[in-house]
Amino acid sequence: MKMKNKIELKKSIIISIFVILIWSSIFALFNLYQYSVYTNNFNNKIDQIVTKIATEYPDIQKSDVIEILNGDEKANGNILKEYGIDLKKESIVMENDKYSNMFIILNVGILILLWISLLIVFLKYNNSKDKKLKEITQYIEEINRKNYKLNIDDNTEDELSILKNEVYKTTIMLKEQAENSLNDKVNLKNSLSDISHQLKTPLTSITIMLDNIIDNPNMDQETRSEFIKDVKREITNINFLVQALLKLSKFDTNTIKFTNEEEKVVDILSTAIQNVSVLCDLKDIEIVVTGNIENTINCDIRWQVEAISNVLKNSVEYSNNSSKIQIVCNKNKVYSEIRIIDNGKGIDKEDIKHIFERFYKGKNSSRDSVGIGLALAKTIIEQNNGTISVESEIGKGTTFIIKYFE
């Protein structure tokens, strides 16, 4: 990430070095040209002087001329002053002085162009950063206005582009959190409304029946007993609702940790059947288990008993008196299956798709139904790598199909 963050700076440095190399090369070539001009002019003047001397003084020895030209002895330059030439102020070759000023101007011009080029590179780099920073600032301002519909189309890899993309990722995350928060609020509102309704109905019934008992001290024993029986039933329903809601809340907050041990299906079913035995006795319903009951599944037996019990409770409530409920067990290489089959009222097609929703009550719901048992069963089974589905036909009965995958 640090390497990517320095890419833009590296690009600017590379461009700057490239510009410096170009202008340095131009500067070096120009100075080579300047040296060549100076040398040619100087050599021409020396050639003229030597030619003049050789013409005026034909007896002069060539060796003397060569010795003077190649020698290391320094002249004091006084004799040239007699000809109006001051070596400290000007060149012996006047033509070089003419070029000198031009070369100085051009050299300064080249240096100015070099610095201007570097300044342009620097300003372009800064403008690019400022532009992206401005865009990021605008994005953040839009986020503060809760506008999460941002379009970031940037495939570069400089440090600001990476920051820009991170802002986009954060925006998406904030958008999802905002949507989830809104959905949670709606769900919480609906749940509280449903819970209030579910508690209000039995509490109202309890209040009315107790008021009748209190207001009628001479009520006959049979009526009083009936009222007390109804109050007890409503209290039982409230207790079941509260316990189910507490269990569901634990699943919602992921505070339940399942154990995963190999358990026999027969052990799960035996305990679940025992849990609904009182209801079965009241309606004279027999539960028959067939199939491969010695199958084993990996699960938390306590919670799976809870799930199966809720499904069986639903089947018993909607079965006719003196009827039979079948539990059929099967297993293949992929999953273990438990089918719970009743011959009750059946479920309307419109109700089937909502049957596992919390607090949902279908058209044929019983008086004691609170609409939470099947939702809890579904949650538990799915937490244990399973599925639950339902098939039903009005007047013929319902089949719950539970599958535990290996």
Residue type, 35: Y
Regarding whether 192 and 71 lie in a shared domain, the answer is: no
The verdict on residue 150 lying in a domain is no
The verdict on residue 353 lying in a domain is yes
Instruction: Domain count for the chain, please give it.
Output: 3
Regarding whether 108 and 8 lie in a shared domain, the answer is: yes
The verdict on residue 345 lying in a domain is yes
- If you average pLDDT over every residue of the chain, what do you get? 75
pLDDT at position 223 is 85
| Residue that wins the pLDDT comparison between 14 and 97 | 14
The verdict on residue 155 lying in a domain is no
Q: What's the rounded mean pLDDT across residues 319-325?
A: 91
Regarding whether 388 and 291 lie in a shared domain, the answer is: yes
pLDDT band at 391 (very low <50, low <70, confident <90, very high): very high
Regarding whether 181 and 139 lie in a shared domain, the answer is: no
pLDDT at position 211 is 87
Out of 90-99, 210-219, 369-378, pick the least confident.
90-99
pLDDT at position 99 is 56
Residue 243 predicted with pLDDT over 90 = no
Regarding whether 365 and 242 lie in a shared domain, the answer is: no
pLDDT at position 282 is 85
User: Dihedral, CA atoms, 235, 240, 243, 244, nearest 10 degrees?
Assistant: -150
| Residue where one domain finishes, among candidates 250, 281, 301 | 250
Nearby residues of 406 by Cβ (< 8 Å), 6 or more positions away:
333, 334, 335, 336
pLDDT band at 347 (very low <50, low <70, confident <90, very high): confident
Regarding whether 207 and 81 lie in a shared domain, the answer is: no
Name the residue among 345, 344, 255, 270 with its Cα closest to residue 305: 270
Q: Against a cut of 0.75, is the pTM above it?
A: no
Q: What percent of the chain has pLDDT over 90?
A: 14
The verdict on residue 397 lying in a domain is yes
- Angle at which helix 7-56 crosses helix 94-144, to 10 degrees, equals 170
Residue 188 predicted with pLDDT over 90 = no
CATH code of the domain in which 312 resides: 3.30.565.10
The verdict on residue 149 lying in a domain is no
DSSP letter for each residue of 199-262: HHHHHHHHHHHHHHHHH-TT--HHHHHHHHHHHHHHHHHHHHHHHHHHHHHHHHTT------EE
The verdict on residue 23 lying in a domain is yes
Residue 249 predicted with pLDDT over 90 = no
Regarding whether 262 and 246 lie in a shared domain, the answer is: no
Regarding whether 397 and 261 lie in a shared domain, the answer is: yes
Whole-angstrom distance, CA of residue 380 vs CA of residue 151? 41
| Residue where one domain finishes, among candidates 250, 285, 303 | 250
Name the residue among 166, 158, 106, 152 with its Cα closest to residue 128: 158
Out of 185-199, 287-301, 386-400, pick the least confident.
185-199
pLDDT at position 383 is 86
Q: What's the rounded mean pLDDT across residues 68-96?
A: 54
Report the chain's C-alpha Rg in angstroms. Answer: 50
Residue 105 predicted with pLDDT over 60 = yes
pLDDT at position 402 is 94
Regarding whether 224 and 95 lie in a shared domain, the answer is: no
Regarding whether 245 and 343 lie in a shared domain, the answer is: no
DSSP letter for each residue of 120-182: HHHHHHHHHHHHHHHHHHHHHHHHHTT-----------SHHHHHHHHHHHHHHHHHHHHHHHH
Q: What's the rounded mean pLDDT across residues 274-294?
A: 89
| Residue where one domain finishes, among candidates 250, 269, 289 | 250
Residue 84 predicted with pLDDT over 60 = no
pLDDT band at 1 (very low <50, low <70, confident <90, very high): very low
Out of 84-88, 159-163, 316-320, 362-366, pick the least confident.
84-88
Q: Is 372 exposed, middle or buried (0-12, 13-18, 19+ CB in 10 A)?
A: buried
Regarding whether 281 and 206 lie in a shared domain, the answer is: no
pLDDT band at 341 (very low <50, low <70, confident <90, very high): very high
Provide φ and ψ at 370, rounded to 5°: -115, -5
pLDDT band at 163 (very low <50, low <70, confident <90, very high): low
Regarding whether 164 and 271 lie in a shared domain, the answer is: no
The verdict on residue 331 lying in a domain is yes
Range of the domain at 335: 257-405
CATH code of the domain in which 197 resides: 1.10.287.130
